[in-house]
Structure 1
Amino acid sequence: MIPPGPVKAFTVLLLEDEGRPGYADGDLMRGQVMLELNSELSFLALRLQARGGVQLSWPESGHGAPAEEEAEYLNLTHTLKGEDAEEGLVTLLAGKHEFPFSFQLPHASLVTSYTGRYGSIQYYLRAALEQPSAPVQSVLREFQVLSHIDVNSPPLLTPVSRCKEKTVGCSFFASGPVSLSAKIERKGYCNGEAIPIYAEIENCSSRLIVPKAAIFQTQTYRSNGKSKTIRQMLSNVRGNHIASGSTDSWNGKTLKIPPVTPSILDCGLIRVEYCLAVYIHIPGSKKLMVELPLVIGTIPFNGITSRNASVASHFSMDMSWLALTLPDVPEAPPNYADVVSEEEFSRHTSPYPQPSDGTPDGEFHCPMFALMQEFRFQPPPLYFEIDPHPCGINEQQQTASFI
């Protein structure tokens, strides 16, 4: 509340704040301090301070002192107008005045904004008007911080599975075991995603059982060696009844994540954790439950699992040698002269004597045998990438097609 006097309105406006989920480490904050005056005003300085941290508080039972603790994560100060008292006063006339500001949040880890039953993590901008003969006038503007969690990181892409078995009844009148095995494809999800659940349930007891699943949020507050824990159900789904001696399977039964605060795992005083509990309601007995840890992130899943990424990278690595070993253009076969020496060539290609008249040896030097010997060591035909007689082949193919 601005007291009566020269100051009519005093506000802090953040630009590009509409629809923004929150500021992250290293983000640029831009805005304006708006000052509207009824009359002329002289002041020492107009400063803007960005602060934030965690605060815990809960009453102790009996007459003990309440548990209180705090930690600071952000403390930045910027002077928008004026300096120290030695520099003199700044005088503004009546009317509206705007003082733009721009500064970058530190790259150090800022914890996500959160408000719970026993503590909160809050950030705010405080504009302070320092006057020489009046109390400091200030105005606060809260802003949200979002510490990003990428669900595509390898630890959050690994599947999670649990299994458990329970014997229904006491040791003397046991009716049989009930077994449960549950699995989810990855550990990290974002708000609005539907989690496919895979489960196998076997009912060997004599009772009618009902499988269910739920998302739980656990808030943990720690202060001076003491702690408070709150656990609440956020959403749930149920399956069909399973009769005695029967089994059932969930092949991707979905449970949607409601809008919740992302997981807070980097604060020593407040932790916000999630899990998917798959459990079986057994009449007259305690639930059979398995809990699969969840991390609610801010950067959505891109559709590439760690297994697919590793297989793709392994394939590209194994096939990389192929591009290095294959020639760009096929090479022609070696020349015949490079393979057979001239001496061997001349020895095997010498002219054959003419057959003598009336001798039986002449039968072995007939023209056909001489032709075979002549081509025995002849070089192969020249290599051509382009068929030198394409027309002949086309004619043969056309002729063959009409046969």
Structure 2
Amino acid sequence: MGVKLRDFGIVLVDEELGGYSSGDLVSGQVLLELSEGLAVTALRLEARGCARVNWIDKAAAPGSAAVPTRYREEVVYLQHRQTLREAPGNQGCFMLQPGKHEFPFSFQLPQGPLVTSFNGKYGSVKYWVTAILERPYVPIQIVKREFCVTSQIDVNAPNFLDFSTFLIASCFATGEAIPIYAEFENCSSRLIMPKAAIFQTQTYLANEKTKTFRQMIANVRGNHVASGSTESWNGKALKIPPVTPSILDCCIIRVEYSLAVYVHIPGSKKLMLELPIVIGTIPYSSFGSRTSSMCSQFSMDMSWLQLALPEQPEAPPNYADVVSEEDLARQFPSLPQADHLEHEFGSPMFAYIQEFRFQPPPIYSEVDPNPTFTEEMQREISFEI
């Protein structure tokens, strides 16, 4: 910068409050400290914000000499220019005296949605301010200062409250803990380990090609479950670390999150249930805690499971109590004996009975699926009429 220019920098006001959002006023000062007088043509300011995607695809067919392909794309969200000081009239320059000088500036961010600042594997969303110092007969000097923009995502908004699949609540804010309700039953002969994790998936788009990067950002594990044993998670907490909120409004970069509950089985593929979630910036603010409401909702929604899967299934009613004498009088073909069936299947019949133990009952119908001979005749007569 030379001996005359001791310091050249940018200071932003209220930057420590957590960044800016769409429509906010960005203000600050450009600082100059001089050891002696300095002739200046102009001092200008530029603000810019854009999303950029950039990666190289080195994949090529075996034996070919294909040139690696570079994929690039850019979308501009902010473009602002202003002059802080310039020579008046036809004068070529103005003089700045030795010492410290402050040049205030301010500009407003666009009112429309701004994509959250992000720095990823193959792209980024960045916003910055540039101060440009022009002097006669000297190359211009610049200094940059990056600032953070956050797109506010209120998880209380109706569109996010309706965004749910299997999860009772699928929108959370950074710093919150996700309560997980699950039950693991080990029917294998191996020792298993239940786990849960939050995954971040970055998707980049350029020249009609996509690039994806996936990483785990948080995880939690339970206790080992022995063969024939079970483990229940009644609201096991998985805390969301400080991460970039979900980016769903950028046409070339998407940042999405998912909650995965899975079982690690040694020597085998893990069983996984993965569900999408949205990570916002404004936490859930209902009357009463999210955890307590989810607990009560979970208890209510899962109460049917206790009825559908009893520990001791009830014995079926007596056949003679539910079948009429007319049905008893019907002639049925003789059924094969159990020994013969076990020989045909190659295993005891009990193994096949267990397969249908928890099957749902038949669908109710007004038409008897097994009509008597009289009912069949009546039905044929009605069709003929």
TM interval, short-chain normalised: 0.5 to 0.7
- Consecutive unaligned residues of structure 2, counting only runs of 5 or more, are 59-65, 294-385
Q: Is the 8 A contact 1:45 1:84 kept in 2?
A: no
Equivalent position amino acid for 2:279 in 1: I
Q: What amino acid does structure 1 have at the position aligned with 2:9? A: T
| Aligned AA (2:268) | S
Q: For residue 35 of structure 2, what is the amino acid of its counterpart?
A: N
The structure 1 residue matched to 2:32, chosen from 32, 35, 39, is: 35
Q: Secondary structure at the match of 2:67?
A: coil
Q: 94-103 vs 84-93, which deviates more?
A: 84-93
Cα deviation code 1:88-124 (max 9, x no counterpart):
5322222211111122111122111111221111111
Tell me how far 1:58 sits from its aligned partner: 1.7
Aligned pairs, how many? 283
SS at match of 2:74: strand
CA contact (8 A) 2:163 2:171 kept: no
1:66-145 alignment runs, 5 A limit: 66-82=70-86, 86=90, 88-145=92-149
Query: Is residue 258 of structure 1 aligned with residue 236 of structure 2?
Result: no
Can you list the C-alpha shifts for 1:196-255, whole angstroms capped at 9, x where unaligned?
001133344444332211111111122112222111111211223334444432211111
CA distance in 2 between partners of 1:59 and 1:290 (Å): 33
Aligned to 2:158: 154
Deviation per residue, 1:117-168 (Å, 9 max, x gap): 2111111110111223222211111111111111111233347454xxxxxx
Counterpart of 2:54 (choices 36, 53, 57) is 57
| Separation in structure 2 between the aligned mates of residue 71 and residue 92 of structure 1, nearest angstrom | 38
Matched, 1:11 2:24: no
- Specify every segment of 5 or more residues in structure 1 that has no aligned partner in the other structure, as ranges: 163-183, 309-403
Q: Partner letter of residue 40 of structure 2? A: F
Deviations 1:340-395 (A, max 9, x none): xxxxxxxxxxxxxxxxxxxxxxxxxxxxxxxxxxxxxxxxxxxxxxxxxxxxxxxx
Q: TM-score, normalised by structure 2?
A: 0.68
Matched, 1:292 2:275: yes
- 3-state SS of the aligned residue for 2:14? coil
Q: Which runs of 4+ in 1 moved over 6 A?
A: none
CA contact (8 A) 1:215 1:233 kept: yes
CA distance, structure 1, for counterparts of residue 263 and residue 12 of structure 2: 50
* Identity, % of aligned positions: 57
Instruction: Give the C-alpha shift of residue 41 in structure 1.
Output: 2.4
| Aligned 8 A contact 1:274 1:293 in 2 | yes
Q: Alpha-carbon deviations, 1:316-353, whole Å to 9, x = none? A: xxxxxxxxxxxxxxxxxxxxxxxxxxxxxxxxxxxxxx
**Structure 1 residues 186 and 304: alpha-carbon distance in aligned structure 2, compared to 1, 3 A threshold:** farther
User: Does structure 1 conserve the Cα–Cα contact (< 8 Å) formed by 2:183 and 2:233?
Assistant: yes
Q: What is the root-mean-square deviation in Å for CA atoms of aligned residues? A: 2.3
- Structure of greater Rg: 1
Aligned counterpart, 1:209:
192
1:274–1:85 CA distance, 2 compared to 1 (3 A) = farther
